[in-house]
Amino acid sequence: MKHPQRLRLEPRPSRFAGAAIIGAGVGSCALIPAMRLSTAAALACVAVVIVVLAASLWRCVGRGVAAIVYVGIDRTISVTDRNGQSRAGVILDDSYVGSALTTIVWRADGDRWWRPARAMLIVPDSLPPDEFRRLRVVLRYGHAVPDEETSGLDAG
């Protein structure tokens, strides 16, 4: 059986995600003084929030945004970053598909069992509307195709 062509996406940096991340970071920093911590502990908390804020902005607005993403109906994915490095993998069931937010949780082929799964945030302003709709359909209705050689079924 021949599978349909894989969906090719070119996500753009998201202004909406960037604004939400900055808002959450500023809000978190504003709440730290209300916790009545020592000055050193409060400064440490602010430093942690700033590091997480910077890493999140890098992944959603900066160079951490994937350049090209191929998604198959068989739940396979191939991600090419801005440096030209590609990784193939499989989309996990932990992915979320919604009308305003979609997360793709995937594991790269050959990753060690202890390495955490990778996640990609997709919001409507990072893709054209038709591509965003197609991605949601592929993620919602796609399913993994069992490997005939290892599935335990006898073909004869």
96-97 and 68-71: which strand pairing? unpaired
pLDDT score at 142: 85
pLDDT score at 77: 94
**pLDDT of 4 above 90:** no
Distance CA 77, CA 136 (A): 14
Percent of residues, the chain, with pLDDT higher than 90 = 73
> Amino acid letter at 44?
A
Nearest to 101 by CA among 62, 127, 74, 64: 127
Q: What average pLDDT does range 60-69 have in this prediction?
A: 89
Q: What average pLDDT does range 21-44 have in this prediction?
A: 94
Contact between 92 and 82 under an 8 Å Cβ cutoff? The reply is: no
Contact between 126 and 17 under an 8 Å Cβ cutoff? The reply is: yes
Contact between 103 and 123 under an 8 Å Cβ cutoff? The reply is: no
- What band does 103 get if pLDDT is binned at 50, 70 and 90? very high
**pLDDT of 73 above 60:** yes
Contact between 9 and 68 under an 8 Å Cβ cutoff? The reply is: yes
> Mean pLDDT over all residues of the chain?
89
Q: How many residues in the chain?
A: 156
